[in-house]
Every structure is written in structure tokens, then in C-alpha cells.
Amino acid sequence: MICLRAVDERNWRAVTKLKVSEEQEHHVSSSMGILARAYAYHNHRGTVKAIYHYDILVGLLMYRDCDEINSFVLDQLMIDVNNQRNGYGREAVKQVINLMKEDSKYPRITLCYIEGDAIAKYLYTSLGFYHTGEVDEDEIIMAYDFS
């Protein structure tokens, strides 16, 4: 069972120890980078959620509001190198989609992944995200519409 929990005084140290494989470091921010980004976007409801499999910390995600594009932005998703390929990222994204849908502030979610990251591309397209046709340097822009 996967659940999303707040990062707080009880778990933040464990969160900072999450790591991805060396090959993924170009595709995914570090846990400290994710926490910093959420702080930087606190005026845009920047939110970090720790991803747990039962009581075991397995990953981290971050999302925020973006009024400029009338969309939620799923900025970051990381699953610790020791917990990958178990479906935890997929379930976490499904849960965050539901949270955003219930919030109903925007009609869509936007995200990007680094060109060449076939795992991210497969994950997001299999969940209903589609390519918008936009590219920002090496980042492919995708969207998910609630309608």
C-alpha cells in the first residue's frame, strides 16, 4: 500500500537520504533539490510529499500551482534506488492526480521529463499524460487533462 505523507520534523532527515541511481542523476533532482524547489515555490502552494510503502519511505514528489499556464505542475518524482521497479512511482502519481483533481483549481496537470528518459516517458504516457508538442531545451512537456 502506497501513501503520501507530509515532510515534517519526524521524517525530513530520512527524506534527505533518498537517492537515485548514478545513471538517473541527470534526469531527477536530489531530495535536497526537491525540498529546496518546494520552498522556493511556497507562494505557489509548492508541496512535497514523502512516498511510503506502508511505513517504509520509498520516494518523494513535489507539485505546485502555476497560474501562468492555468495548470498544476508535477515538478518532481523520485523513487529511491533501492525501491524502484515496484510500481511505487505509478501509484504515487495516481494519488497525486486524484489530489489535484479534488482540489479542482486547474483543469490540467503539466510536467516535463528529460529527453531520453524512456522510463519516465512510459510511466507518464501509460497514466494518460500526452505530449503537448512543446520542448524546453532537453525537457519534453506533457499534460494530463481532467475532463
42-69 pLDDT per residue, tens:
999 999 999 999 999 999 999 999 999 9
Task: Give the pLDDT of residue 29.
Answer: 86
Task: Give the pLDDT of residue 63.
Answer: 97
Q: Are 60 and 93 in contact (CB under 8 A)?
A: no
Residue among 139, 143, 108, 105 nearest 124 (CA): 143
In degrees to the nearest 10, what's the CA dihedral of 125, 139, 131, 112? 60
Close Cβ partners of 116 (under 8 Å, ≥ 6 residues apart): 27, 138
pLDDT at 86 over 80: yes
Task: Give the pLDDT of residue 130.
Answer: 97
pLDDT at 23 over 80: no
Residue among 146, 110, 116 nearest 131 (CA): 110
CA-to-CA separations, 19 to 44, 60, 74, in angstroms, rounded:
26, 10, 19
What is the residue range of 118's domain? 2-145
H or E stretch at 53: strand 47-53
Q: What is the mean pLDDT of the chain?
A: 94
Q: Which residues are paired to 76 by β-bridges? A: 62
How many domains, in total, are found in the chain?
1
Q: Are 94 and 57 in contact (CB under 8 A)?
A: no
Q: What is the pTM of this model?
A: 0.92
Burial level of 114, CB count in 10 A (0-12/13-18/19+)? middle
pLDDT at 107 over 90: yes
Task: Give the pLDDT of residue 138.
Answer: 86
Task: Give the pLDDT of residue 54.
Answer: 96
Grid cell digits, residue 1 = 500500500
Q: What CATH number should be reported for the domain holding residue 102?
A: 3.40.630.30
